[in-house]
Amino acid sequence: MSARPEFQATTSSTIEREDPERAPAEAKQLDQLLDVGNKIIDQALDMIENSLSSDDQLTHSSKFLPGSTIGKHLRHARDHFALLLDCIAAPPPYVLNYDKRSRNTPMETGLGAARDALEDTKQRLADLIPNMQLNAPLTLNAVTPYEQTFQSTVGRELWFAGLHAIHHWSMVRVIAGELGVELDDHFGYAPSTLVAKGMASKM
C-alpha cells in the first residue's frame, strides 16, 4: 500500500462548516489541530499496513520497556482520542476523564482490529470536530493519585491527544527496533521536532 498523505506545516480549511458565523481564525486553528491529529493516527496506520506483518508483533513484550507492547501503546493512545470524542458526542456541559480507559481490547492483539479501531477514530474525528467550537469549555477530571478537576477546552484536549499519541509512538519505535522492524524516519517525532529538523513535509 502507498504511504499516507504528507503533513504540511500550514494548512487551509478543507471542511465545510454548518456555522457561518464562526470566526475564520478559530475555524482555521481547529482545522489544523484536526489535520495534525489525523496525520499522527496515519503514522500508526501506515506502520500497521506497511511495516508490521503479524499479530505476534503487537504482543511482543519489550526488553527495554518492561510490560510494554506495540499493541498496548496503540490502544492507550487511541483511547485518549476516543474518550475525548465520547465526551463531546454527548450534550454539554462536557466532562472528560482520561482514566476511564479500556484494556485487553482486540486492537492490542490483532492488526486488523488495530487498523479498524484507528480508522474508526479518524472517522469520528471527521464527524464531530468540525462542528465544535475551538474554545468550548470542558471540565477534566483526573487522578494524580489525588482526584483533581481542571478547566480546559475542546481545542486544548484535541492538541493533547495528538501530542500524547506521538510520545507513545516514540516508544513503539523502540519496540519495533527490538523486532527488527524498520519505520519511517518521521515516526514518533512531535510536529515541533519535525519543523525544527526541517522534516515537517514528511510527517
Query: What does the pLDDT profile of the chain (203 residues) look like in tens digits?
Result: 445 545 443 333 433 444 555 689 999 999 999 999 999 999 999 999 999 999 999 999 999 999 999 999 999 999 999 999 999 999 999 999 999 888 889 999 999 999 999 999 999 999 999 999 999 999 999 998 899 999 999 999 999 999 999 999 999 999 999 999 999 988 998 777 877 777 655 55
Domain contains 7: no
Domain contains 80: yes
Domain contains 84: yes
Domain contains 1: no
Domain contains 166: yes
Q: pLDDT at position 13, please?
A: 41
Domain contains 8: no
Domain contains 189: yes
Domain contains 16: no
Number of domains in the chain: 1
The CATH code of the domain that includes 96 is 1.20.120.450
Q: pLDDT at position 17, please?
A: 44
Q: pLDDT at position 116, please?
A: 99
Q: pLDDT at position 3, please?
A: 54
Q: Which domain holds residue 44?
A: 24-202
Residues forming beta bridges with residue 94, ordered by sequence position: 138
